């Protein structure tokens, strides 16, 4: 049981390049999230999905797009990378909506370190 | 927006000591999560609670809803407990967003 898998683990981009981060979960979870983690700040939500075919904006969505074509996969795209997008990106999933009654325990991927030059 | 404050920011303890990490938030919540981030960067969920107290091994989490405060306790600390501990809260509104604290970095010295 792999849990939540992110690819790639590391990537260096030049300003203006595009890339896609892939998150895959094998736990049949409905909810998936993309967060970024920056030094001195708490994790911040970029986009999330409450089920296959759905996506929604989080706290810091600008410059990112997402897709959830299959229940197990949640893709995060950067169309034109900027140095401000240098960060560590975490994907997470939950069976339910982040509360006990909904089995909302969070499962995280190992993180993807992105550097934009 | 909920403000989440953790204290202390950094904590160094001797092996075997009892450790307390605190989390305070500003607005009522429906759930609070405690997470552990390993030195290698991976994040695991330790507890999710909305009231009372939970225990798992040497870890204990408590929450006081009236005071908007939660604590994470580690008994008989061990060097392998060295990590960043993160508190996150979910508001009472129908939102899927968590507000995260900045974390408490714990170092346990043998």
Q: What digits encode the pLDDT tens for the residues B60-77?
A: 999 999 999 999 999 999
Torsion over CA: B38, A93, A19, A77 (sign): negative
> Does residue A104 belong to the interface with chain B, where contact is any CB pair within 8 Å?
yes
Whether the per-residue pLDDT at A114 is higher than 70: the answer is yes
Given an 8 Å threshold on Cβ–Cβ distance, is A111 in contact with B42?
Answer: yes
CA dihedral (A115, B3, B4, B10) in degrees, to 10, reads: 70
What's the pLDDT score for residue B39? 86
- CA distances (Å), A81 to each of A42, A49, A99, B63, in order? 22, 22, 34, 41
> Does residue A69 belong to the interface with chain B, where contact is any CB pair within 8 Å?
no
Picking from A91-105, B45-59, B85-99, which range would have the lowest pLDDT averaged per residue?
A91-105
End-to-end CA distance of chain B: 40
Q: How many other CB atoms sit within 10 Å of the CB of residue B95? A: 15
Given an 8 Å threshold on Cβ–Cβ distance, is A111 in contact with B33?
Answer: no
Question: What's the gap in Å between the CA of A41 and the closest CA on chain B?
Answer: 5
> Does residue B27 belong to the interface with chain A, where contact is any CB pair within 8 Å?
no
Please, are residues B29 and B89 in contact by the beta-carbon 8 Å criterion?
yes
pLDDT tens digits, one per residue of A32-78: 999 999 998 989 999 999 999 999 999 999 999 999 999 999 999 99
What's the pLDDT score for residue B42? 92
Mean pLDDT of B13-36: 95
């Amino acid at each position: 049981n792999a849990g939540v898998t992110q690819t790639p683990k590391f990537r260096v981009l030049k300003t203006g390049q595009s890339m896609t981060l892939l998150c895959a979960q094998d736990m049949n979870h409905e909810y998936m999230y993309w967060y970024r983690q920056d030094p001195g700040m708490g994790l911040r939500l970029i986009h999330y999905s409450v089920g296959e075919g759905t996506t929604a904006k989080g706290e810091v969505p600008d410059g990112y797009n997402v897709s959830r074509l299959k229940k197990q996969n949640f893709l995060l795209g950067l169309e034109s990378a900027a140095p401000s997008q240098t960060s560590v990106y975490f994907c997470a999933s939950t069976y339910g909506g982040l509360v006990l009654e909904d089995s909302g325990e969070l499962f995280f991927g190992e993180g993807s370190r992105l550097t934009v030059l | 927006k909920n403000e989440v404050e953790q204290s202390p920011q950094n904590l160094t303890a001797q092996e075997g000591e009892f450790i307390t990490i605190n989390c305070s938030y500003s607005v009522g919540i429906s759930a609070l999560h405690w997470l552990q981030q390993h030195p290698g960067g991976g994040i695991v969920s330790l507890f999710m609670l909305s009231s009372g107290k939970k225990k798992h091994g040497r870890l204990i989490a408590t929450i006081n809803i009236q005071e908007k405060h939660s604590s994470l306790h580690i008994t008989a600390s061990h060097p392998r407990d060295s990590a960043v501990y993160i508190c996150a809260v979910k508001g009472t509104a129908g939102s899927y967003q968590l507000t995260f604290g900045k974390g408490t970095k714990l170092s346990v010295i043998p």
